[in-house]
Chains A and B, each alone.
Chain A
Amino acid sequence: MAANEDTFLHLARPLGPAPVGTQPSTHPLTVIVQPQALLSVLDHSTRRPPDQTRVIGTLLGTRSDADDSTITIHSSFAVGHTETTDQVEVDMEYQKTMLDLHKKGNPKEVLVGWYATSSELNTFSALIQNFYGGQGDGTWPYPAVHMTVSTEAGKGVEVRTYISAPVGVTPERAADSAAFIPVPYEIRYGEADRSGLEMLAAAKDREDRTVATITDIESLEHALEDILGMLDRVGKYVEGVIEEEDDTLPNTSLGQYLLNALALAPKVDPADIEKDFNNHIQDVLAVSYLANTIRTQMDLSNRLATAPLTMGGPESTSLATKEEGGQQSQRGGGQRGGRGRGGQQREQRDQREPVSAI
């Protein structure tokens, strides 16, 4: 029943019998899936009840403003349903409440369709599809998107997206029949998602599937190692071509590409580089120095404000003065705090200049 994965013809959708006065949009349609939604579907699939082969849920997202031809799926949530051989039951109450709750958190997202965690399309799919695409609570007059994510054990995860057109068999069968039309989809992530996906990808080759968060310098190291690896590979290839080894074939376009890349290296006067380098490094070091100085100063001033009055004596005298009474030490603390503040002020004046210079 499922559509062939490899290729399909993507056309304007056939028109169904539309009610008078409304004109459903017939543009070709593309679907953009954000990783969050997909991950959520996969998570739901691992949490399905043991006796169910597939689970379904609602897809939420946005439509492109201009012509509704692009649907972006931002997120999804699970909806409980039970399926037997001759009937399907979807918890509509749950779906409605959850949709309301979700809208409070993400006011911009609207209902765009539903997902199922198996590639199969059957009568029940048509039934649910007609519900999601219907008037009232559904996505009408926009088409509802149906996304299938196959999660069969031992096989790859296959994602497909469909929209549907009504097919008229008989009026009685209209509710549970629909022609599913495959539409192209794209998994697209934002700039902000990059760092997160990178971390997930780092965990994928490990047996325990976990990875600890890394610091900036570690990520720099990884990136450098990677680049060095690539440089090595290119270097080897170029060497092979120059040495006229048998297994490396020279290729003009590759050579041209490499030449283009090399041409990107700027030609700058060494004196300029030296100057810029020194300026920048001074900036960086100055800020670091200042941050640490400020930290120490604040710490010192706060400590002095709260430290008991001891005149720098050993620990025993500090205890003795402490017992003399809170008030005195408080006053002493206050005065010392004041002095600490004086130092702070001075220091503050000192560093305002370089900071503004940067």
Chain B
Amino acid sequence: MEATQNPLRGVDFREPLHRQAEPAAGPVWIRQSDIAMAEKETPLKAVQVEGLVVMKIIKHCSQRFPTTATGALVGMDVNGTLEITNAFPLPIIEIPPEAHYEGQHINTAAAAPRAKANTGYQAEMIRMLREVNIDAQSVGWYTSANMGNFCNTNFIENQYYYQKDLNESTVALVHDVSRSSQGALSLRAFRLSPQFMAAYKENKFTTENLQKSNLRYQDILVELPVQIHNSHLLTTFLHQLPTPPPSTSLEEPTSVSSIETNPFLSSNPLHPNYETLSLNIDPFLSQTCDLLLDSIETHHTESNNFSYYSRALAREQNKIAQWQAKRKAENALRASTKQALLPEDEWQRLFKLPTEPNRLESMLNSRQVEQYSRQVDGFVAGTTGKMFAVRGNLLPGEGWVGIEETQESREQSCCEKWEEVCSARHFVDSDQTRGATF
């Protein structure tokens, strides 16, 4: 195990020295428990993802798109910051054909992180990684998402499995493939909240319990801020790649085609992504609407279940009341004739109250819808700004001085205005919801 102590000793590309503070040698299980103990004192505050991990996740997720891809993360917990230093994909477990006949549609990829067969794979992989000095500690898993549709039972079960069994300090990274293709990288880290962990352990999501524990859908997941970190070597490498247009003057071009083919002008891979300026809004809107309709469907089913349950419950209780009244009358009769009384609590044997449906699904659904609406708000803010800019640009006759200035000032004012409007609406919404908690 001397491997993990400090792989960089005697090397100039030194990482920050916190790794030296780790216990130098000894079997891994001791170190893990140490870290687990330390973790109890400092809960996770942030997640730091290595550039390599970002690229690996992107590669895996976009390869499998639109199906879900999952994988495991390894790294280290350093004073409340979870450093994720490597990742590997988990294979999709082929389910035996007879499982298909049971009518259970299991998304094999989504369930992979907690599948039995993969536990072995993961342990084996981590053992191999340790031999080449990679941080050999499982710190969570990642999954791909499509427009933020990750709040489902699979996600919860996977994360529960990780947080309960393996190690307290584990996170789930969610990479949203569709949103990343439209501009900024969407990589988010989530954990289950301690309250939810406790509730899920008991697995009692009945109305009564929810009232008691005061657990709300906002409390299921805790989001952690994500930072992206590069190694020194990678920084060196990035600085060598062709980057934004050089600020020094170039040679005079001799023809139009020489401008178009000039490597300095045409290839700048790491330049800001102008995809964000695209005005193509329809795919986003239609996808969001589809997803919202799905959510409504789920909500509808759940609330139907619940109202069915409450009707059944009312019916049963009615019957019980009738029975009790009858029994009481009978007993009164018996008392008057001096006969032995019949027991009055026999109804507990005779009638069976229906079991209440699990409220977890509807809670998750609420969380999901919240996710969608946040996403839409963000999208609206950007798009409206862009659209006002385009209008300002194409209709210059509205008293604007120059096109550039028009664009800039409009853009800024629009963005600001829309951020204000959106945040204002958030306030209104949260007021409404607060008003609903009688």
Do A and B pair up? The answer is yes
Q: Please report A residues at the B interface, Cβ cutoff 8 Å.
A: 34-36, 38-40, 42-51, 55, 57, 74-75, 77-80, 91, 94, 97-98, 101, 104-106, 151, 153-154, 156-157, 187, 189-204, 209-224, 226-228, 230-232, 235, 249, 251, 253-254, 256-257, 260, 265-266, 268, 270, 273-274, 277, 280-281, 283-285, 287-288, 290-292, 294-296, 298-308, 310, 312, 318, 322, 326-327, 329-331, 333-335, 337-338, 340-341, 344-345, 348, 355, 358
Q: Determine if B132 and A80 form an interchain contact, defined as CB atoms under 8 angstroms apart.
A: yes
Chain A residue with the shortest CB-CB distance to B93: A104
Chain A residue with the shortest CB-CB distance to B285: A287
Measured between beta carbons, the chain A residues less than 8 angstroms from B34 are: none
Whether A334 contacts B382 in the complex (CB less than 8 A), given A203-B229, A219-B184, A270-B395, comes out as no
Q: State which of B36-44, B150-158, B332-340, B371-379 sits at the interface with chain A.
A: B371-379
Q: Determine if A193 and B289 form an interchain contact, defined as CB atoms under 8 angstroms apart.
A: no
Assembly CA distance A163 to B46 (angstroms): 44
5 contacts between A and B (CB under 8 A): A55-B132, A193-B59, A273-B394, A287-B380, A358-B285
Q: Which of B15, B59, B241, B288 has the most CB of A within 10 A?
A: B59
Q: Determine if A48 and B385 form an interchain contact, defined as CB atoms under 8 angstroms apart.
A: no
Does B101 interact with chain A (Cβ within 8 Å)? no
Contact of B415 among A189, A204, A221, A345 (CB under 8 A): A221
Q: State which of B160-168, B194-202, B274-282, B323-331 sits at the interface with chain A.
A: B274-282
Chain B residue with the shortest CB-CB distance to A335: B310
Contact of B273 among A46, A91, A198 (CB under 8 A): A198
Chain A residue with the shortest CB-CB distance to B377: A288
Measured between beta carbons, the chain A residues less than 8 angstroms from B288 are: 287, 291
Does B131 interact with chain A (Cβ within 8 Å)? yes
One digit per residue, 1 when the CB lies within 8 angstroms of any chain A CB and 0 when it does not, for chain B 265-298 equals: 0000111111111000100011011001101100
Q: Determine if A284 and B317 form an interchain contact, defined as CB atoms under 8 angstroms apart.
A: no
Measured between beta carbons, the chain B residues less than 8 angstroms from A104 are: 91, 121
Contact of A341 among B15, B227, B238, B303 (CB under 8 A): B303
Q: Which of B61, B133, B277, B394 has the most CB of A within 10 A?
A: B394
Assembly CA distance A307 to B130 (angstroms): 51
Q: Determine if A334 and B306 form an interchain contact, defined as CB atoms under 8 angstroms apart.
A: yes
Assembly CA distance A106 to B370 (angstroms): 35
Closest CB of chain B to A264's CB: distance in Å? 12
Chain B residue with the shortest CB-CB distance to A156: B240
Q: Determine if A331 and B310 form an interchain contact, defined as CB atoms under 8 angstroms apart.
A: yes
Does B95 interact with chain A (Cβ within 8 Å)? no
Whether A219 contacts B183 in the complex (CB less than 8 A), given A257-B259, A334-B307, comes out as yes
Tell me what chain A mostly uses at the interface: helix, strand, loop, or mixed.
helix
Q: Determine if A216 and B378 form an interchain contact, defined as CB atoms under 8 angstroms apart.
A: yes
Assembly CA distance A218 to B235 (angstroms): 23
Assembly CA distance A258 to B292 (angstroms): 45
Closest CB of chain B to A34's CB: distance in Å? 7
Does B253 interact with chain A (Cβ within 8 Å)? yes
Q: Determine if B310 and A337 form an interchain contact, defined as CB atoms under 8 angstroms apart.
A: yes
Q: Determine if B211 and A308 form an interchain contact, defined as CB atoms under 8 angstroms apart.
A: yes
Assembly CA distance A223 to B271 (angstroms): 9
Q: Determine if B125 and A348 form an interchain contact, defined as CB atoms under 8 angstroms apart.
A: no
Q: Determine if B289 and A355 form an interchain contact, defined as CB atoms under 8 angstroms apart.
A: yes
Q: Determine if A46 and B183 form an interchain contact, defined as CB atoms under 8 angstroms apart.
A: no
Does B1 interact with chain A (Cβ within 8 Å)? no
Does B400 interact with chain A (Cβ within 8 Å)? no
Whether A291 contacts B292 in the complex (CB less than 8 A), given A36-B59, A44-B132, A298-B365, comes out as yes
Q: Determine if B133 and A266 form an interchain contact, defined as CB atoms under 8 angstroms apart.
A: no
Measured between beta carbons, the chain A residues less than 8 angstroms from B236 are: 156-157
